[in-house]
Each structure stands twice: as structure tokens, then as C-alpha cells.
Amino acid sequence: MEAVAKLNNCPMSARKMRLVVDLVRGRNVEEALNILRYTKKEASVWLEKLVLSAVANWEQKGNNAVSADDYDLFIKLAFSNDGRQLKRFRPAPHGRAHRIRKRSNHVTIVVENRTPLASDSEGAYAEEAVEENAED
């Protein structure tokens, strides 16, 4: 089972966010949270909240009957894309103007469990039993 968390219009460039997203992609949730807690970039604060939100979404998807600690969650997919840009002008020498682009980004994190859920394993065994009966 997997759960998704998205952060839209985060006021930071996607390039700066990708530096931190690349650190946690494919890691266990506990390990990723430890990395984010001790990273000195502003993006780590945003991503820490997002990972916790993804874990909460995963628990909610299981109807609160499952705890994330028991199922070895990991970050299956994490990426940052460009968002909207606010375009402003700043005065420059000799009566000119320089354009300022205030960038933003969209971050998506997908969390999945490595240890199968009880409901998932029962369904897999039932499918195997049906296949064995069909072969006989």
C-alpha cells in the first residue's frame, strides 16, 4: 500500500529543493527524517513536514488500524518540479530595469511499505490457491 503527499507552490526554487530531495529518495522513513532533521538547508524543514504528512496519509489509508512503525515504510518516489514564477522589476542604473523572478516549486513524495500488510498477504495466498486449482 502506498500513500502520496504533495506540497504545491513552495516559495523556493526547484533546484534548491532537489538538492535535499535527492538525499532522502529511496531511504527508510526514519532514516530520511534523521537526515532532514540535521540538514542545514531551508528545504529540509519543508520536506520533513511533507514526509510526516505522507506517513500520516499512509496510516489514514489503512483506516488507522495500522501503525507506520510496524511496516518498514520507505520513500518510494520523491521529486520536485518547477511551479509558478512571480515576475517583478527592480530599478537598475541609467534608467533601466532588471527582471526578478521569484520561483516556486511543487514537491511530491510517495511512501510505501516493505513489510506486507495482513490484508495484502491474505489476498496473495487466495490468488495462488485459485491458480493451483486451475492447473489441476
Domain 2-135 in CATH 3.90.470.10? The answer is yes
Least confidently predicted of 67-76, 97-106, 126-135: 126-135
Give 106-117 as a 3 state SS string. Answer: EEEEEEEECCCC
Q: Select the more confidently predicted residue: 2 or 70.
A: 2
Residue boundaries of the structural domains of the chain: 2-135
Q: What is the pLDDT of residues 41-69, one digit of tens each?
A: 999 999 999 999 999 999 988 777 777 77
> Is the pLDDT assigned to residue 34 strictly greater than 50?
yes
pLDDT for the residue 128? 53
